Structure 1
């Protein structure tokens, strides 16, 4: 009797897995990274509990469907979650970009009072600590969240003179104007913002800002035309950064309205 129950349960589980697989289509993609080779990255579909591993060139394939959540994990890269869209399912290949993990050396705190002069004794007595970075998702960190700190060397007096050292920060201020420092800060922020924008497709950004009703009611498009239109109106990440600012939302609407007219005129010509 127990064997019959076990066989029945196994049969139903097989049917469930088979049905689940049939509802999904084979999705192919490629994982990219700027600094390291993408090898053996685990690709896990959190919506179906199916998984796979990328090959030596970063290629992967997995059964999935629209709105499934894919999770990419590796020892060398930061974990990433990616929610599939209809556009992704229609593509021949889905491109995924991963960031390398940041490894930090242990910090060593040294003051004049902690040194004895004997290297073997000093290295054993100096306390070190290792920060826990496991629960930090660096992909979600914003430039504005970074706080600049100043390292203080207690072995050197603060009121530095030509005999005790040089205050390089003060020297730098003499040659770099306030306006130039602001330009440098803005350049760093813009570069980081572009990298953040690249993490999502133009299609995803636009659907987060505007609902489908905006495209159908305001721009006069059909639901079937929305993916094609957003592909037609797609902007490069550097251009998109400016439009994504809250104060530039009206300019973004004007841009989409203009592109919608061009798109509809092309549709009529065809």
Structure 2
């Protein structure tokens, strides 16, 4: 068993090291527009399939070689593709400036209509349907909702829930059930409510989130998927179950690796 574990470790380490052969570690900063946050910008090396993420000051480190293509991307910024030159290798630094993203609105199809522009005339042409709504009396509603009761009117004396709850059990003597219940809560604390489940992200919302995060240029330049095929690519990913947990901020690099693997399979299909 130990020999098998050692063999797997050597294989993984060999693959990881092989991708960085001939590469050196460089550092740099990503300059963003005034008022924008520089943290969380993704830097992806297309040649080594390795990446990095900027810290709160926009600083990053990544292994590169001359001629490697680095793709800088974030949700609120335009993607930037930079080719590492000899100067960056010599100085072991690479500083990049990134611009705010431009949101492209989807195409809108304008259809013909019968509106004239005259509000009075157009209102007369609107078809009105008379709705036959059921009618109920107060007695009917009372039978339908037996637990319902009217709220206190504004003229009633205000109630003090704290005083009522603390003194209610002593109005006619001590309440043994309340005392026993309090002791049980001290010995066996009540169960905490389970955290609310995370909202489900549908197929269309999934594509919207990822495309806004990286931009269509990322799909074309890094994943080699044309813009017209991006929706088909997400259909392909959804068939095998796109793991939604990869959309979390701490799963940034796992998401990139997943998209790379799926893009290769998509192009081969």
Shorter chain as normaliser: what TM range? 0.3 to 0.5
Larger Rg, first or second structure (1 or 2): 2
TM-score by length of structure 2 reads 0.38
For CA contacts below 8 A with separation 6 or more, give which structure has more relative contact order: 2
TM-score computed with the length of structure 1 as normaliser: 0.38
